[in-house]
Structure 1
């Protein structure tokens, strides 16, 4: 079952159900497993196994999946890589923001990330680190949870109310019993953003990592998120909540001024 399911698609005559199911099959590989069998994919997507078998066969023929006979499982193939690379390499905001992010990372000795949302995750499209920092490597394509990271919280805080409510409902369905505590933490982040213009994740995603996040508003109306932070032994909470978060907000304004 998809993280975000829009009931309106059932009534949309232009909506191609078969295509949506094929994309759901590809998305199943973002759940952390490198190789998956048809039964694994059916469990992750909620699709019937015969449907999954037809989808994996077709996607293999098209070069988006490859089949490992010895494992009787599938993995992503070069067709997906080509699409992803084309998106990232042609993303104008990434090209323009990178020099600013590199300078910020060098000057503050922190890791700086640029992320966009995909369903209930934030995905890195760029990550910059000072040369001497070897930890917290987040390459393009790495996914982060929406609810517990600085990137996700900044994105949600800047999202228009109706769209945010839709995402919050999806998060509630995903986290079930853990949701009340998570919701309270998110509401604190939203209040923090309203007052200061940035959000924090202080060990909420990874107990060893702290980070600040700010939204990046693009000229086309889309929202991305910038983050900075690092392991707690490298970045202090005092510095993060003080000058670093303020500098990150200024970095976002500088990048926005480029007309991205």
Structure 2
């Protein structure tokens, strides 16, 4: 079911006359493919988005005509088409911070033998917009477009820790609503991350997202006010918890400051 986070339809005040409901629903349909299977039918999309099936049918038909979805008659299901890829590529290729930060990230990845990622937030996820790895294929492979949960990853925790209190609480409420059964465990990890950030300037995920992965994350503040997050990580057999906490995390924080000084 769609969490509707950051969606103007959630507001309790007067209806926003500039808000185009049909367009929002069409984008909800496209977003459904980031939460479900690669190939989905109208019923699957309706379940994920919470939209009525007749509405979904009209949306998928229109999006197919526009080249954002393709339809398989054999499967009677839809998948994303090249129109979506073109939009995503245009965003990533024109992201100035990505272009300027990449040489610094490449060097960090090479010298530390870790995977270094640049991420931005989409609702309750962090999305990779760049990932650099050393020549050896022993570190994590996280391609552009990969989504990570906010609550358990170093990138997500760093992003949350750097937010203003009111904005952070809005996201924490949404995470709690989405994860009622394990919220107590998530909250404990988040509180520790916020304490780490307040004291050291970084957050950790030591087996919390993946029990075989140790990672550190730091926020990245762009000049236009945009908040992103840098992360570095590797399999736990390559980097110990102690190394991440006492060495790599501090180096990552310095990398973030170096990138910020580029004036992005």
Same fold (TM over 0.5): yes
- 2:101 matched to which residue of 1? 97
2-structure distance, mates of 1:224, 1:136 = 20
1-structure distance, mates of 2:2, 2:194 = 26
Q: Deviations over 1:6-40 (max 9, x none)?
A: 52187211111111110000000001411000000
Q: Deviations over 1:179-227 (max 9, x none)?
A: 1221121011101100000000011111111100000001011110000
Deviation, structure 1 residue 177? 2.0
1-structure distance, mates of 2:237, 2:214 = 10
Aligned to 1:226, which of 220, 224, 230?
230
Aligned to 2:209, which of 205, 209, 226?
205
Aligned to 2:59, which of 55, 58, 65?
55
Question: What is the number of residues matched between the two proteins?
Answer: 260
Aligned to 1:8, which of 11, 28, 33?
11
Counterpart check, 1:192 vs 2:199: no
User: Does the Cα contact within 8 Å between 2:113 and 2:139 map onto a contact in 1?
Assistant: no
Show structure 1 runs of 4+ deviating over 3 A: none
- 1:87 matched to which residue of 2? 91
Q: CA 1:104–1:135 in structure 2 vs 1: closer, same or farther (change >3 Å)?
A: closer
Deviation, structure 1 residue 89? 0.3
Give the TM-score normalised by structure 1.
0.98
Deviation, structure 1 residue 241? 0.6
> Which structure 2 residue ranges, 5 or more long, are not aligned?
none
- 2:70 matched to which residue of 1? 66
> Which structure 1 residue ranges, 5 or more long, are not aligned?
none
Mapping of 1:28-39 within 5 angstroms? 28-39=32-43
2-structure distance, mates of 1:134, 1:232 = 11
Residue aligned with 2:234, SS: strand
Give the TM-score normalised by structure 2.
0.96
1-structure distance, mates of 2:224, 2:95 = 13
Deviation, structure 1 residue 135? 4.4
1-structure distance, mates of 2:243, 2:140 = 18
2-structure distance, mates of 1:136, 1:49 = 39
Could you say which structure has the higher helix fraction? Answer: 1
Deviates more, 1:1-10 or 1:137-146: 1-10
Q: Deviations over 1:40-77 (max 9, x none)?
A: 00000000000000000000000000001110000000
2-structure distance, mates of 1:86, 1:222 = 18
RMSD: 1.1
Mapping of 1:124-163 within 5 angstroms? 124-163=128-167
Deviates more, 1:111-120 or 1:131-140: 131-140
- 2:218 matched to which residue of 1? 214
2-structure distance, mates of 1:198, 1:167 = 19
